[in-house]
Amino acid sequence: MRSVTYSMSVSLDGYIVGPDGRFDWTAPDEEVFRFWIDEIREVGVHLLGRRLYETMLYWETADQDPTLDDAKREWTSLWNPLPKVVFSTTLSAVQGHARLASGGLAEEIERLRAEPGEGDIAIGGATLAAEAAALGLIDEYRAMVYPVLVGGGIPFFPQRERRVDLELVETRTFSSRFVYLRYRVAR
């Protein structure tokens, strides 16, 4: 069965976006960007909330930029053809290989898990991940921890009064001081 993974960049104090709505501190260096390229190779479908979808729209046309470096071209070549499901109550259309979700999150994940196919079901966006976590649908949490304290904003972890025990699967420290943590939900 396909795993559901939640992977985002996060400040050391636990936020994916600061109190000012900015996330410029998440710009990865080349080593971390290469890591994200390897991570996206393992994804079969990506579920996104509206805000993350709109942020990621940049990549739909980024390959047309003649100044784009090789790593970003490689990312674009992997990201663009990747099937995406967007959860939004305000969008009426999406671009590229994306489609609007036709059902609720649990129904979409159940359907995707039942379909033949390889690769993880990745979830991006804290609001969508919070809903998936509340429903007990996340199998792995993957956090790229940045050495910054932003003091508030949108938290990486959902603020639910529910305990979730985790098993450490992998850690990696990058030369640029970033730390990657991968946990599997203990069942």
Query: Quick one: pLDDT at residue 27?
Result: 85
Under 8 Å between Cβ of 42 and 182: no
Give residue 38's pLDDT band: very low, low, confident or very high (50, 70, 90): very high
Q: How many domains does the chain have?
A: 1
Short-list 144, 111, 110, 101, CA closest to 15: 144
User: What does pTM read for this prediction?
Assistant: 0.91
Query: Quick one: pLDDT at residue 93?
Result: 95
The share of the chain scoring above pLDDT 90, in percent, equals 82
Question: Helices in 41-104 by DSSP H: which ranges?
Answer: 50-56, 58-61, 70-79
* Structure-token match 């359907």, residue found: 111
Q: Which residue has the higher pLDDT, 1 or 31?
A: 31
Residue 187 has pLDDT above 90, yes or no: no
* CATH number of the CATH domain containing 104: 3.40.430.10
Average pLDDT, the chain: 93
Query: Quick one: pLDDT at residue 159?
Result: 66
pLDDT one-digit tens code per residue, 138-177: 999 999 999 999 999 999 986 677 788 999 999 999 998 9
- Boundaries of domain holding 21: 4-185
* Structure-token match 């992997």, residue found: 78
pLDDT one-digit tens code per residue, 69-94: 999 999 999 999 999 999 999 999 99
